[in-house]
Structure 1
């Protein structure tokens, strides 16, 4: 299990315990974190679970694959270094303490 902090665009923080094997998106969805819409349910077919990974964590999470990279083109104000789709980040003990910041909106 990992404690993940989701930071809304307005600065409101949500610290959530997420079980290993779930995705960062499922952790947000299951705990009512606003700002993660996850319209496609985690199929990497939209960009409505887009976040900015805290700079301290960018190199600690697995790299994006080509499909995620392509979907991020549709996200609101993507940042090439920090933008990720939370449906593509599997939770492990190594992610304990992860901080992600939500964009102003999802599109």
Structure 2
């Protein structure tokens, strides 16, 4: 079973099973992480699904597109090394062991 480790805004950490083909946003919402608002439904237009990814795991992710980066840069929790929109990360088994931190909304 392939899993990622998710830390919520209260610092609670748990393992979540990867569902290939879903976005990270969908996976988090399906696993009751209500902090992921995803107000635009995954259209990369709101930044309410902002997460931090452990640096080493960035290599497993698709590159950040310009529209995603522009949204991320407007948030207080923006970190050029770790910030991503969870709606823009398609889940694959190669992400086994990835560590995700849900960040507070502005």
TM-score if structure 2 supplies the norm length?
A: 0.90
Q: Counterpart of 2:88?
A: 88
**For residues 43 and 2 of structure 1, do their structure 2 counterparts lie closer, same or farther at Cα, with a shift above 3 Å needed?**
farther
Count of aligned pairs between the two proteins: 106
Unmatched 5+ stretches in structure 1: none
Q: What do you get for the CA RMSD once the two structures are aligned?
A: 1.5
Q: Which runs of 5 or more structure 2 residues have no equivalent in the other structure? A: none
The residue correspondences of 1:1-107 to structure 2 (distance < 5 A) are: 2-103=2-103, 105-107=104-106
Q: Does structure 1 retain, via aligned residues, the 8 Å contact 2:18–2:93?
A: no
Deviations 1:37-82 (A, max 9, x none): 1111101011111011012212222210111111112323200111
- What is the TM-score normalised by the length of structure 1? 0.89
Q: Tell me by how many angstroms 1:17 deviates.
A: 1.2
